[in-house]
Chains A and B, each alone.
Chain A
Amino acid sequence: MIFMTDKVAIVGLGYSGFSPSTDRVSYKEMMFEAAVKAYRDAGIDARKDVQSFICCTEDFWEGNSIADEYMPDQLGGALRPVCTVAADGLYGVITAFMQIRAGLVDIAVVESHSKLSDVVSKDDIARFAIDPLFGVRNLDPNPSFLAGLEMNRFLHETGNSRESCAEVASKNLKNATSNPRASYGSKKSPKEILSSDVLAYPLTKLEASKPADGCVVLVLASESRARSLAEQPVWITGVGWCSESPWIEGRDMSSAGYASTSCRMAYKMAGIKDPGKELDLAEIDDTFSYKELQHMEALDLCGRGESGRLVERGFTARDGVLPVNPSGGSLGLGYMAEATGLHRILEASLQLQGRARKMQVKDAKRALVQSWRGIPTASGAVVVLEGGP
């Protein structure tokens, strides 16, 4: 029977890894562990109850062409409907959301993992993603220069300072010290961050996230199944995604246009008019320190040029008015390639369920999750999550 169902919820969360390296397990074994935990959390039998499996993976991070083929077994997806979305995990959540909303399936699984410790030439993969015909690839700089270019223009146009960016890194590294999944939690002052080695001016080493391994598996369900399966379903009330032009030199580097467009789509769906006031927390992209500020402004959490001051005043601290990355974000947990969006969903969902322990944000009812696909892309997605009945 085909029918349109109104609401979609996350009813199961599972994860494994979350470490700079996971040498003792293969990526498949890491996925199996996360999947078993997610299905137990949802109280389902994957072989009987799941009608769709969606993986988010990119062949070059995997080191296998057509890596999709290697995903089914360890998720319980052999001889079942499986597909891969070659993008950040949030795109997988949105794909599952659409399949359920369309009435095609009742229960869908979304998976993404990072085994970056298996990739020896990480920077070369980012460089390989740069358009070959524009020659930049052959100039031979490390691809982090792209973050430097963007940061410089963003600061120049908005009047935000390098000190504010360092404040973001300091906050997220500190938040991570109370997150059991975080690999890079530490107490570093903005001054120490600014005086760390320069990667690509104005970006310093402590302002760039470091790689981590990990896997996240989510179980999504239609409203009727969600109500019978979960005591605390996390409702997906808005989704959006967007890609800007890949022409690096031609795009507006000061503003994250992909984030503005995708958030407008998601806010409209979720009925949010004043995001800065209506959201209780945000887990948004902070691959680099300035990205959190740039995204705060693009996502309308504050006005243009205001993000830096808000961070410095503690507005975005865990006990602030609008906590941003109370989990520690990518700076604190580590950059997890295509699994980044799902780790943010995991952290935000735990908050809405009141399961975030030492990281718990008071009265967290509505959360914003946003991801960016990293250098050299200008693509990303947004998901709005809500707790409650």
Chain B
Amino acid sequence: MVYSGIGISPQDVANSRYLTVPYSANLRYRWSTGAAVGRFLAELKNGKIVGRKCDKCKRVLVPPRMFCERDFIQTSKWVYVQDAGIVDTYSISYIAADASRLEKPLIVAVIRLDGTGEAGILHILGGIEPKDVMIGMRVKAVWKPKRRRVGAITDIRYFAPAGDAK
């Protein structure tokens, strides 16, 4: 026999006619950043962007990794890269994390930093109107003041059109 089920009205739910079991899991983590990302974050505090170079494919990986996924060898050295580059792709997000409508949209972009080869980092654009953003445009990091940096990607407030950076 297959249990055929019954219709439930909103009133049934409001009257607790059919019970549910609510539960909120307590999930807490504290990830080790490791050798590569750990140093990357520490350098952001100093206003610098550091990557790791693969000797085989010559890419500079930013954010850094201790290994190259293409060549499966250890990356060989730390390389500082410019805090400026070009917009590889972007999207203009009109919805917030809770899916509500944003009045002022967020411009998310992949930025190919100068001197990295093919690798790019994900960040947001600022100091620019959505209609003016273009793939291939030059942008530069706008940093938080040094005393407010904590060693996080948000130590860079956003990337702004190069030349306009304050």
Contact = CB atoms under 8 A, between A and B. Distances in A.
Contact of A29 (B21, B27, B29, B66): B66
A319 interface: no
B34 A73 contact: no
Interface string A56-82: 000010010000000011101010000
B31 A63 contact: yes
Nearest to B73: A36
- Give the interface size bracket for A toward B: 20 to 34
A239 B29 CA distance: 35
Interface string A104-122: 0000000000010111110
A24 B35 contact: yes
A73 B69 contact: yes
A24 B34 contact: yes
A195 interface: no
A124 interface: yes
A134 B35 CA distance: 44
Contacts of A13: none
B33 interface: yes
A138 B23 contact: yes
B25 A128 contact: yes
B66 A63 contact: no
Contacts of A63: 27, 29, 31
Interface string A356-367: 000000000000
Contacts of A196: none
Contacts of A47: 71-72
B69 A72 contact: yes
A29 B35 contact: yes
A28 interface: yes
Nearest to A213: B32
Contact of A120 (B30, B33, B65, B72): B30
B148 interface: no
Contacts of A27: 32, 34
B81 interface: no
B25 A124 contact: yes
A24 B38 CA distance: 9
Contacts of A139: none
Contacts of B153: none
B133 interface: no
Given A32-B66, A76-B72, A133-B21, A26 B36 contact: yes
Interface string A28-49: 1100100010000000001100
Given A47-B72, A78-B70, A23 B32 contact: yes
A125 interface: yes
Contacts, number: 76
A128 B24 CA distance: 9
A43 B147 CA distance: 51
A121 B27 contact: yes
B80 interface: no
A114 to B, nearest CB: 13
A389 interface: no
Contact of A119 (B21, B29, B38, B67): B29
B31 A29 contact: no
Contacts of B26: 121, 124
A25 interface: yes
Contact of B32 (A25, A78, A125, A128): A25
Given A132-B23, A137-B23, A138-B23, A22 B67 contact: no
Contact of A73 (B32, B35, B65): B65
A115 B27 contact: no
Given A63-B27, A120-B28, A78 B34 contact: no
A26 to B, nearest CB: 3
B67 A26 contact: no
Nearest to A26: B34
Contacts of A121: 26-29
B32 A118 contact: yes
B92 interface: no
A26 B31 contact: yes
Contact of A24 (B23, B32, B65, B70): B32
Interface in B91-122: none
Closest 5 CB pairs of A and B: A26-B34, A73-B69, A120-B28, A63-B29, A76-B72
Interface of A: 22-29, 32, 36, 46-47, 60, 63, 72-74, 76, 78, 115, 117-121, 124-125, 128, 132-133, 135, 137-138
Interface of B: 21, 23, 25-38, 65-67, 69-72, 74
18 contacts: A22-B32, A26-B34, A26-B35, A26-B38, A32-B67, A60-B27, A63-B31, A73-B67, A78-B70, A118-B29, A118-B31, A119-B28, A121-B26, A121-B28, A124-B26, A132-B23, A138-B21, A138-B23
